[in-house]
Amino acid sequence: MSEWILEAKGIEKLFPGVKALDGVDLQVREGEVHALVGENGAGKSTLMLTLSGIYQPDGGGIYLEGEKMHFSSPHDANHKGISIVFQELSLIPGLSIAENIFANRQPVGKFNMIDWDVLYSRTRELLALFELDNLDPSTLVKELSVANQQLIEIIKAISYDPKVLILDEPTSSLTEHEVTQLFENIRKLKKKGLSFIYISHHLSEIFEIADRVSILRDGKDVSIISVR
């Protein structure tokens, strides 16, 4: 069995007139936070969009627990074990917290009707992970602060029970206290074996939460640094 939970080998991605990724390698261990850094245009976003099934690689391969993967869509990647949380929120403001977290996969009962008791119970369990017990699962997302919406986005991704969770600038809308809480939850989830790819421009965050750091430059992997 591979020592890597996720491995990208020689990933290439071409756009008209541009080679956005040129043979990029990335290895992530089970239960680690692997940070990805680089200047704007270095290829970070393109790599993450490829790993999460939004783009198809033009070369190379993606391996999850040693098995080569082909993701036909982000939905497919979610169900196979890779979820991503973008900096831009994708929640539907007019739906409740519970409806957003379990969109298109709500538990159903008799006559194929939504089982609201089960839906709200599952939502409360997830909210409790982030000490958001004070939130009612039936609350509309538009009534939440931006910071809480960001946390709901992360909880939605975690609800798929992924093996690898990609976080793209996750602290951009959070207060200092909320960042501290987020890091505590990342550490808890690490202990349960969840792996993270963490993208941030804040070096202080990276040195606080990351185990290793990969540096991208001009669509190529430059080096890997062990932080702890």
Same domain, 149 and 168: no
Q: Report the pLDDT value the prediction gives residue 2, as an integer from 0 to 100.
A: 65
Q: Does one domain contain both 194 and 218?
A: yes
Q: Could you say which of 133, 160, 187 is where a domain stops?
A: 160
> For residue 86, what are the CA distances in angstroms to 154, 156, 167, 198, 208?
9, 12, 7, 11, 21
Q: Do 167 and 77 fall within a single domain?
A: yes
pLDDT at 1: 55
95 and 146 in a single domain? The answer is: yes
Looking up tokens 């951009």, which residue turns up?
172
Task: Report the alpha-carbon distance of residue 103 to residue 43 in Å, rounded.
Answer: 30
Distance, in Å, from the CA atom of 15 to the CA atom of 78, rounded to the nearest integer, reads 25
Cα pseudo-dihedral 35, 39, 41, 43, rounded to 10 = -20
Residue ending a domain, among 160, 180, 205, is: 160
Per-residue pLDDT of the chain (228 residues; tens, 9 = 90+): 568 999 999 999 999 988 999 999 999 999 999 999 988 888 999 999 999 999 999 999 999 999 999 999 988 999 999 999 987 778 999 999 999 999 888 888 888 888 899 999 999 999 998 888 899 999 999 999 888 888 899 899 999 999 999 999 888 878 888 888 889 889 988 998 999 999 988 889 999 999 999 999 999 987 787 877
Alpha carbon 114 to its chain centroid, in Å, reads: 27
Residues 127, 136 contacting (CB under 8 angstroms): no
Q: Which residue range is the domain that position 181 belongs to?
A: 1-81+162-228
How many domains does the chain contain in total? Answer: 2
